[in-house]
Amino acid sequence: MTDTTDTVTAPGSLVGPGARRFRSPLRNAPKSVRTGVRYAAVVPFLAYIAIFLLVPLVWIVKDSFLNPTTNTFTWSNIDIAVHGSYLHGFEQSLLLSLIASVIPGIFGLLVSYAIFTAGGRGAAWLRQVVLTASGVFANFGGVPLAFLFIASFGSSALVTGWLSAIGLNIYNLGFSLYTLSGVALVYMYFQIPLMVLMILPALEGLRPAWREAAQNLGASAWSYWRHVGGPVLLPSFLSCLMLLFGSALAAYATAEALTTGTIPLTSIQIGTFLNGNVIAGQQNVGDALALGMVVIIAVLMIAYVLFQRRSAKWLR
């Protein structure tokens, strides 16, 4: 809708020949100095991230290899963290994250596509409602969220009652709000909005011209998606899935509130260590569990970056 000359901001648009740049006091300095100064402006931001995000993570890696009493190198923390109940915790966490990322991923994509392609009078309004709601709901969690679902899907709650009134007792079908299936259902409450927010820029990158070109060449809707839209969108979709997976893995407050810590998830087990419920000599096992999380996240982020790079070929 920006067909006025002053708001067109096509990426990579070149500056007109007459445009003036800022007169930098360093314009006569050697090129290397100027390059250094150019990058210096992002140093505060990078330093902040390094100090308050990366250094704590590195510290965890270090501590997970230390014996808490003698401060010497040991494998025992890692050894404990990958066996028994902690191994089970990782398995459950990964399974939960898989369920709570693939389903919201697909559904979020559909919602996003639905609001993006909606036309007509209410379309702008619909987009506003969905996007602002997504911004708010993506940050919703913890006790309030748990309560929402206890009030609706608890064993004798509103929706459960309705469903059993029509002969569908979900608790007899193996569903329980306080197990993995229930937690996954609750997680979708913030995962779907997150997906909507993250995938929308990719949808905006699908150019109408491609669709028109495909239609002019006689393509059906299916073959457009099979050969053009799908392949272009797939890397973005997968990169968003990586983030959703990580977000589900990272969630703590909601599962804690819902199950009061009885569900074996790694994030909850780490929380137990922080709350001080620790066997003597195992103080650093919490760090080893956190290290396990960091390793999984590192793999996710590498996949994310690779998918992003792939999607950058076509989008934006």
Partner 1 sequence: MAAIATKPVTAPAARPRRRGSFPVWRWVIMLIAAVYFLLPLYAALRFAGLHAFGSVFTQAGFGSSLWLSVKLAAVTWAITMLLMVPTTVYVHLRLPGLRRLLETITILPIVIPPVVLIVGVLQVMPLALRSSVWLLAIEYVVLTMPFAYRALDAGLRSIDVKTLTEASGSLGAGWFTTLWRVLLPNMRTALLSSTILIVALVLGEFTMASLDLQQTFPVWIVLFDQENAQISVSASIFALVVTWLFLMLITVVATRQSRRSGGGEVTLFSAAPRETIGN
Which of positions 44-83 make contact with partner 1 (CB under 8 A)?
44-46, 48-49, 52-53, 55-60, 63
- Site membership for partner 1, residue 187 (CB under 8 A): no
Residues in contact with 61: Cβ distance below 8 Å, sequence separation at least 6, in sequence order: 291, 294
Query: C-beta of 15: minimal distance to partner 1 in Å?
Result: 6
> Which residues lie closer than 8 Å to 215 by C-beta, 6 or more apart?
224
Q: Are 274 and 286 in contact (CB under 8 A)?
A: yes
Name the one residue in this structure whose structure tokens are 């002019």.
216
Q: Does 13 bind partner 1 (CB under 8 A)?
A: yes
Segment contacting partner 1 by CB under 8 A, of 72-80, 83-91, 168-176, 184-192: 184-192
Q: How far is the CB of 305 from partner 1 (least distance, A)?
A: 6
Q: Of 69-77, 172-180, 206-214, 230-238, which segment contacts partner 1 by CB under 8 A?
A: 206-214
214 Cβ partners below 8 Å, 6+ apart?
A: 223, 224, 227, 228
Distance of alpha carbon 93 from alpha carbon 230, whole angstroms: 30
Distance CA 194, CA 190 (A): 6
Residue from 39, 91, 168, 227 in contact with partner 1 (CB under 8 A): 39
Q: Which of 147, 173, 227, 230 binds partner 1 (CB under 8 A)?
A: 147
Minimum Å distance from CB 237 to partner 1?
15
Q: What span, in angstroms and rounded, lies between the C-alpha atoms of 146 and 259?
A: 9
**Nearest approach, Cβ of 113 to partner 1 (angstroms)?**
8
Site for partner 1 in 98-117 (CB under 8 A): 107, 110-111, 114-117
Report the site for partner 1 in 153-182 (rule: CB under 8 A).
153, 157-159
Question: What is the distance between the terminal CA atoms of the chain, rounded to a whole angstrom?
Answer: 17
Q: Judging by beta carbons within 10 Å of its beta carbon (0-12, 13-18, 19+), is residue 8 exposed, middle or buried?
A: exposed
Q: Which part of the chain contacts partner 1 (CB under 8 A), choosing from 7-15, 75-83, 165-173, 174-182?
A: 7-15
**Does 270 contact partner 1 by CB under 8 A?**
yes
**Among 26, 102, 124, 295, which residue sits at the site for partner 1 (rule: CB under 8 A)?**
124
Among residues 63 and 92, whose Cβ is nearest to partner 1?
A: 63
Q: In angstroms, what is the minimal distance from the CB of 131 to partner 1? A: 5
Shortest Å, Cβ 229 to partner 1: 8
Q: Binding residue for partner 1 (CB under 8 A) from 33, 95, 139, 227?
A: 139
- Which of 244, 204, 211 lies closest to 229 in space, CA to CA? 211
What gap in Å lies between CA 87 and CA 266, rounded to an integer? 9
Contact between 119 and partner 1 by CB under 8 A: the answer reads yes
Least distance (Å) between residue 79 CB and partner 1: 19
State yes or no: residue 89 binds partner 1 (CB under 8 A). no
Which of 137, 311, 295 has the alpha carbon at shortest distance from 241? 311
Instruction: Tell me: does residue 42 bind partner 1 (CB under 8 A).
Output: yes
Count Cβ atoms within 10 A of the Cβ of residue 205 and give its class: 0-12 exposed, 13-18 middle, 19 or more buried: middle
Q: Tokens 């025992």 identify what position? A: 76
Question: Which residues inside 222-261 make contact with partner 1, applying CB under 8 A?
Answer: 229, 242-243, 245-247, 249-253, 257
Q: Which two tokens stand for residue 63?
A: 């501590």
